[in-house]
C-alpha cells in the first residue's frame, strides 16, 4: 500500500519526534509551544497548508524511503498527467465534487515515479523532513496509475472508501519501508 501526501517532506524527522509532537498537542494541548521550539516543523506545516484545486491535479509524494532490493532505496512520487486546474470554490466539499465530476467524464492518470537514493549523506533514511533533491536524482517514470471513469456516488462507494485501511508494510520484503516512522507504523 502506498501512503502519499501532497507535500514532498514530512513535518517531523523520526518516530520520537512524532511522539513528542503528538504529546504536545494531545496531552499538553499546546502545539504552539512545541512549534515555537521546532521552527522547521512549523515551517513545513505552514507549507503543507496550501490549497489544492483538485485531488486529481495534485502531485503526491511517498515522503518516507523504501527498499528497492538489497542496498538500494527509493522514494515514490505520483505526477498527474492532467494538469488542467480548476479553481477551488466556496464549498467545504469542493474536492469531492471535483473528483466526482472529473471521474464521471473520463479516467484520471498519474505517472508513478521512483527517485533513487544516490547520495546517502544528502538523502537520509530516517530524517523525513529532509528533501531528496531532484537535481541529485531525477525521478524516473516506471508505470502509469489509471483511475477508471466511474461514478463515485454509486451505492456502496462511500462506505467502501470509509472502510479502506492502508499499511505501507503490505509489501514484499525487497520493498519494505525504511526509518523509524515506518517502523512505528508497523
pLDDT digits (tens, 9 = 90+) for 68-100: 999 999 999 999 997 776 666 678 889 999 999
The Cα–Cα gap between 32 and 76 comes to 32
Residue 129 pLDDT > 90, yes or no?
Answer: yes
Q: What percent of the chain has pLDDT over 90?
A: 88
Of 66, 154, 52, whose CA–CA distance to 104 is shortest?
154
CB atoms < 10 A from the CB of 105, how many? 8
What's the pLDDT tens digit per position in 136-161? 999 999 999 999 999 999 999 989 98
User: What are the b/e assignments for 51-85, b being 16+ CB within 10 Å?
Assistant: eebbebbbbbbbbbbbbeeeeebbbbbbbbeeeee
Instruction: Supply the mean pLDDT for the chain.
Output: 94
DSSP character string of 28-59: S--HHHHHHH-HHHHHHHHHHT---S-TTTS-
DSSP character string of 112-150: EEEEE---TTTS-SS-TTS---TTTS--EEEEEEEE-S-
In degrees rounded to 5, what are phi and psi of residue 77?
-150, 140
Amino acid at each position: 500500500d502506498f501512503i502519499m501526501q501532497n507535500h514532498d517532506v514530512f513535518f517531523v524527522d523520526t518516530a520520537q519526534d512524532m511522539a513528542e509532537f503528538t504529546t504536545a498537542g494531545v496531552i499538553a494541548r499546546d502545539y504552539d509551544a512545541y512549534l515555537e521550539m521546532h521552527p522547521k516543523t512549523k515551517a513545513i506545516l505552514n507549507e503543507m497548508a496550501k490549497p489544492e484545486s483538485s485531488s486529481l491535479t495534485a502531485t503526491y509524494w511517498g515522503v518516507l524511503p523504501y527498499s528497492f532490493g538489497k542496498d538500494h532505496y527509493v522514494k515514490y512520487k505520483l505526477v498527474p498527467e492532467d494538469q488542467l486546474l480548476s479553481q477551488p470554490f466556496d464549498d467545504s466539499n469542493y474536492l469531492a465534487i471535483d473528483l466526482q465530476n472529473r471521474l464521471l467524464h473520463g479516467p484520471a492518470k498519474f505517472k508513478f515515479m521512483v527517485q533513487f537514493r544516490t547520495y546517502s549523506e544528502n538523502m537520509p533514511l530516517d530524517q523525513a523532513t529532509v528533501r531528496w533533491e531532484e537535481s541529485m536524482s531525477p525521478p524516473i517514470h516506471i508505470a502509469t496509475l489509471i483511475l477508471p471513469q466511474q461514478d463515485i456516488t454509486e451505492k456502496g462507494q462511500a462506505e467502501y472508501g470509509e472502510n479502506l485501511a492502508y499499511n505501507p508494510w503490505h509489501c514484499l520484503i525487497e520493498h519494505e519501508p525504511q526509518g523509524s516512522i515506518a517502523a512505528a507504523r508497523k
